[in-house]
Amino acid sequence: MDLDLRKLRYFVAVAEELHFGRAAERLHIAQPVLSRQIRALEDELRAQLFVRTKRATELTPAGRQLLDDARPLLSAADATRRRVAQAARGSKTFTIGFMPGLTVTEAVRAFGASHPDIDVELIRTTWNDQVDVLHDGRVDVSIVRLPIDQAGLTVRPLFEEPRVAMLPSDHRLAGKPVIDITDLADEHLLQDPDAVPEWRDIALELRTRTAKPIPAMRSVEEKLEHVATGRGISIIPLSVATFYRRPDVVAVPVTDLAHNSVCLAWVSTRRSRLIQEFAALAGTVDWNAAR
């Protein structure tokens, strides 16, 4: 049996919304049509994917498994479409993703000089999409910051750099030349605690279960706005703090924080000669000088 990608897209929309009405609006189709397509998918798979009551829609174990498998399948299909369309247009491009704070100029110039017939394009990524852009084909390679989900990817280390605490300029620790992570035990962290396990080990708000919600933030700029207004602190790589320097936020070194690892990543199944050449070139770049 061949999986119908359209039905899979419908399924993912319902699984993410957990509401058939909202999913139908998102897909721009009528709700009865969506319901029929989901029932058809369940019949094809011989598995119930959702449990629907008057109050809620929930995934079954089979549904959760399909959601895990469907997302990379759909991303791969999107990537294939992009590459085929690009080949049909006869365009020769190589796209590089990179995270905030990273300077890729030296690598891009060197690669462009070796391939003057290829247009090198750049996409700035975020913590939320630095892996997605690889799987869905928006970029050929991406310079990522760990940790990431490395499933299906080839990941090569480039360099490591310190992380610093971002504090409001009037914070009690703002004038310190260096601090320990224990100095931040009573602070509110404006990011997923799992991203800073050293803080998680000593955080009072986690021990007392008084942690405030973390606001939705889509960029470094938004994060620093929250820090500046005293809503919490953040731990970020030194190069990001340097790039986004501002007078109302102070970067303070933390002695016992693990360094952030920066790596080059690409989809493992891709056999592009250009990817291998860029990977070799990236290994020769002095990334410390570029920062």
Do residues 171 and 156 share a domain? no
Q: How many domains does the chain have?
A: 3
Question: Sheet holding 249-253: strands in order across?
Answer: 234-237, 163-168, 249-253
Average pLDDT, the chain: 89
**Residue 75: band (very low, low, confident or very high) from pLDDT cuts 50, 70, 90:** confident
Do residues 167 and 247 share a domain? yes
Query: What is the pLDDT, as a whole number, of residue 225?
Result: 95
Do residues 233 and 268 share a domain? no
Look at residue 273 and tell me whether its pLDDT is greater than 60: yes
**Domain for residue 128, yes or no?**
yes
Written as one letter, the residue type at 285 is: V
**Domain for residue 38, yes or no?**
yes
Q: CATH number of the domain that 107 lies in? A: 3.40.190.10
- Percent pLDDT > 90 in the chain is 58
Written as one letter, the residue type at 287 is: W
First and final CA of the chain: distance in angstroms? 52
**Residue corresponding to tokens 């000089």:** 113
Domain span at residue 33 reads 5-73
Look at residue 265 and tell me whether its pLDDT is greater than 70: yes
**Residue 291: band (very low, low, confident or very high) from pLDDT cuts 50, 70, 90:** low
Query: What is the pLDDT, as a whole number, of residue 88?
Result: 67
Hey, which bits of the chain come out as E strands? 50-52, 57-59, 93-98, 119-124, 141-145, 153-161, 163-168, 234-237, 249-253, 260-267
**Domain for residue 219, yes or no?**
yes
Q: Report the distance separating Cα 11 and Cα 43, nearest Å.
A: 13
Q: Does residue 77 or residue 290 have the better pLDDT? A: 77
Give this prediction's pTM.
0.72
Do residues 154 and 167 share a domain? no
**Domain for residue 60, yes or no?**
yes
**Domain for residue 124, yes or no?**
yes
- Enter the tokens of residue 7: 């039905």
Do residues 147 and 186 share a domain? no
Do residues 171 and 238 share a domain? yes
> Environment class of residue 199 by beta-carbon count within 10 Å: exposed (0-12), middle (13-18) or buried (19+)?
buried
pLDDT, tens digit (0-9, with 9 covering 90-100), for 82-125: 777 766 665 588 999 999 999 999 999 999 999 998 889 999 99
**Domain for residue 82, yes or no?**
no
Do residues 245 and 171 share a domain? yes
Strands 50-52 and 234-237: what pairing? unpaired
Q: Any residues with CB less than 8 A from the CB of 125 and at least 6 apart, and which?
A: 97, 98, 99, 133, 139, 142, 144
